[in-house]
Structures are given as structure tokens and as C-alpha cells.
Amino acid sequence: MKAELVNPFLEAAALVFRQMLQLELIRGKTTIKKSPAPGHEVAIVIGITGEVTGTVVYSMNMDTVRRIVQKLMPGISAQEVEKEYKDVVGELGNMITGNALNVFLKNDKDLDVTVPRVVDMRKQSLSLNETLTLGLNLYSPFGLVEVNIGMDAQD
């Protein structure tokens, strides 16, 4: 998997966390997986089409999600967090995706992305095609963000 396809998503996530949450993401280990399936409770799923097809999945545990929501919505109650977290996490996904898409456009890559979908793995299942996947851990003071990028080049 080419760095020019992976790095825009990592750069975009780092930018959004820095701008919106005043948090730095520290890149951890990289692994190879058979599927982009999320390893944590809350996932942001983004489909990719164009020169390559595939799926990018950002996932976090619920504690990390709560901290993000509380940072962006100070004073929110625990009950309100449970009602609002999908919208907040979905908006982060939109910002990350938009920033990544801008990088692709600047690099003359013909890619389209779907609207990010937030999936609560505690309440629903997610079926993703098996494909060679690059798994990256991004660490923040709020917790781990797992990024799984599974893409296939088009002929």
C-alpha cells in the first residue's frame, strides 16, 4: 500500500485533532491485517472509490469518545453524551475526510469518499470485505485512535 494513499488520512486526523481538540496524535506501531474491521466500540467508516477502492475505519473506545465530546461540548451531562456522541464523532469524521480529500486533490489523485458512517459496535455489527489492511495506532492524551486502511488498486 502506497504512502501517498495512507498518509493523507493520517495527516488529516492529526490536523483535526490538533485544531478541534488541541491534542497531538502520536503515531504508534503499524500492523498488517486481513480486514479494516474496527478493534474498538465506536467506529467511523469511510468508503473510497476512484483510482483505488476500499475502506478507512477510525475506531475508539467509548471512554475516548466521551472525552472528545466533553471537550467539544463543555458541561454536557453523561446522558447527553450518550445522545450526542454519534453526531460529534461523525462531524470529526467529516472533517478528517474533507482534509484527506483536499490532499488527494492537490496530488492529482482521482478519489471520492463516502459520507462517514458512525457505527456503535456495542449495538450493531459491521460487515467489511477482507482486503489487505494497514493498521495504525494513533495515541492522544484522550486515548487511542485506531486507523485501519484497506484499499485495492483499480486496473
pLDDT above 50 (res 155): no
State whether residue 115 is helix, strand or coil: coil
- Predicted TM-score of the model (pTM): 0.89
Helices marked H in the chain: 3-21, 62-72, 78-106
CATH number, domain containing residue 13: 3.40.1550.10
Of the chain, the percentage scoring pLDDT greater than 90 comes to 63
Least-confidence region, from 60-64, 100-104, 117-121: 100-104
For 116, which DSSP code?
Answer: P
Name the residue range of residue 98's domain: 3-153
Query: CB-hemisphere CA count at 13 Å for 64?
Result: 21
Q: Residues 72-94: pLDDT tens digits? A: 999 999 899 999 999 999 999 99
Name the one residue in this structure whose C-alpha cell is 492529526: 14
